[in-house]
A and B are shown apart, each in its own frame.
Chain A
Amino acid sequence: NAGVTQTPKFRILKIGQSMTLQCAQDMNHNYMYWYRQDPGMGLKLIYYSVGAGITDKGEVPNGYNVSRSTTEDFPLRLELAAPSQTSVYFCASSGTDKSSYNEQFFGPGTRLTVL
């Protein structure tokens, strides 16, 4: 199993550009999440999904959009990038198996800089 994969690993955007951060998991997990990590701030939940076709906002959704057309994929879209979106973005997933209930598995992250 590859687990949770994310692409790209690094990206530099200009203000106002848009991009999509890709996330995929091969563990057949229903739940998927997008977080951003800023120094000293921990992880902030951007969006999450409880299954294909179902998404909802987290703590910091402004400036982002998501979709979940399949169980495996959960892309994060940035529209009109702003310097405040400079961060490291982590995708995670979790399943309903009782042995790992609520345990989140993380991808390697995408480091995004907006200039």
Chain B
Amino acid sequence: AQSVSQHNHHVILSEAASLELGCNYSYGGTVNLFWYVQYPGQHLQLLLKYFSGDPLVKGIKGFEAEFIKSKFSFNLRKPSVQWSDTAEYFCAVSSGGYQKVTFGTGTKLQVIP
């Protein structure tokens, strides 16, 4: 069974700091990769996704992620965070043609004004 690891459980940053959240997965074949965000008290929303093509994926709100196949990684980045980015971030992966998606345990980001 595939697994997804998010090594940072809780990250605290000041506004304007740069962000990088790590995500590693275990499956060695073709994968679809996602980052979801969950703002306090809300449901998960898609930030960005990778299916194929350019490994550098740009999402909403200035977020981007880079797929590095050799490292089984899909790290999320943002050059300058804002207080409104305070949320929990989930990495997710699906493999093959089957639509089952495995989620990581999430990283809570707290941005201090």
Give chain A's interface residues, CB within 8 Å of chain B.
31, 35, 40-43, 45, 48, 50, 58, 90, 92, 94, 101-104, 106-109
In chain A, what residue has the closest Cβ to B96? Answer: A102
Q: Which residues of A contact B42 (CB under 8 A)?
A: 108
CB of A106 within 8 A of CB of B45, answer yes
Please indicate the chain A residues that have their CB under 8 angstroms from the CB of B74 in the complex: none
A31-B90 in contact (CB<8A) = no
B49 touching A42, Cβ below 8 Å: no
Q: Is the CB of A107 within 8 A of B43?
A: yes
Beta-carbon contact of A45 and B100 below 8 Å: yes
Name the B residues within 8 Å of A58 (CB-CB).
100
B33's closest neighbor in chain A, by CB? A102
Which residue numbers of B lie inside 8 Å of A, CB to CB?
9, 32, 34, 42-46, 49, 51, 90, 94, 99-101, 103-106
5 further interface pairs, Cβ-Cβ under 8 Å (given A101-B51, A102-B101, A109-B43): A42-B105, A43-B103, A50-B99, A102-B32, A106-B43
For A90, what are the chain B residues with a Cβ–Cβ distance below 8 Å? 43-44
B9 lies within 8 A of A40 (CB)? yes
- Chain A residues near B94 (CB-CB < 8 A): 102
Which of A50, A104, A108, A109 sits near B101, CB closer than 8 Å? A104
Cβ contact within 8 Å between B99 and A31: yes
B106–A42 CB distance below 8 A: yes
B43 adjacent to A42 (CB under 8 Å)? no
5 A-B residue pairs with Cβ-Cβ distance under 8 Å, sorted by A, are A90-B44, A102-B34, A103-B46, A106-B45, A108-B42
With A102-B94, A103-B49, A107-B43 in contact, do A42 and B32 touch (Cβ < 8 Å)? no
CA distance A43 to B43 in the complex (A): 12
Q: Complex formed: what's the CA distance from A101 to B49 in Å? A: 10
Shortest C-beta distance, A14 to chain B (Å), equals: 25
Given contacts A90-B44, A108-B42, contact A41 B105 (CB under 8 A): yes
